[in-house]
């Protein structure tokens, strides 16, 4: 049985803001209990206005850290960064590589892709990698266009 707590933990872990805040609302209004089967959530009449406000206030701190992908000087190579804001990723890139700043894109859709980390040979999602990071912004590595291998580069812009 998947409990309400299990589903809530999953939603928080994977930055599923609406789901996590909806469950939080249901729990705080005693519509469900953490140990109940998650199917009980289907019986709850949610207050979408209140949930939207919880999401805007980001009470649970979901989605603060995002994945940014920056073009590099090397053709078809992109630098991956985890940061709250694109400017944080720009600054870190400049500190690490001293190269000119290029186009940067928020790429949260890539957070769920499995990537092979060349240094360790381990395969994981960027979400899983994010759990191992102590401080943000953080350099994840460089990835060649169309590939799923992350390389840690030194001195390449």
pLDDT per position as a tens digit, 77-100: 999 999 999 999 999 999 898 877
d(CA 156, CA 154): 6
pLDDT per position as a tens digit, 1-20: 999 999 998 888 888 889 99
pLDDT of residue 156 exceeding 70: no
d(CA 127, CA 111): 5
CB 80 within 8 A of CB 68: yes
Residue 48 pLDDT: 96
Query: DSSP secondary structure string, 95-111?
Result: HHH-PPP--EEE-GGGG
pLDDT of residue 155 exceeding 60: no
Which tokens is 109 given?
Answer: 């859709």
CB 88 within 8 A of CB 58: no
CB 136 within 8 A of CB 84: yes
């Amino acid at each position: 049985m998947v409990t309400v707590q299990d589903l809530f933990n999953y939603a928080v872990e994977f930055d599923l803001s609406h789901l996590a805040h909806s469950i939080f609302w249901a729990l705080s209004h005693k519509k469900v209990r953490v140990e109940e089967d998650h199917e009980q959530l289907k019986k709850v009449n949610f207050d979408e206005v209140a949930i939207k406000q919880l999401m805007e206030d980001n009470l649970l701190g979901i989605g603060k850290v995002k994945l940014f992908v920056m073009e590099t000087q090397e053709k078809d190579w992109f630098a991956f960064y985890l940061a709250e804001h694109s400017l944080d990723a720009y600054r870190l890139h400049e500190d690490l590589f001293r190269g000119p700043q290029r186009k940067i894109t928020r790429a949260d859709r890539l957070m769920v892709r499995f990537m092979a980390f060349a240094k360790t040979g381990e395969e994981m999602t960027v979400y899983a990698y994010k759990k191992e990071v102590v401080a943000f912004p953080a350099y994840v590595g460089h990835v060649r266009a169309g590939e799923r291998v992350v390389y840690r580069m030194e001195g390449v812009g």
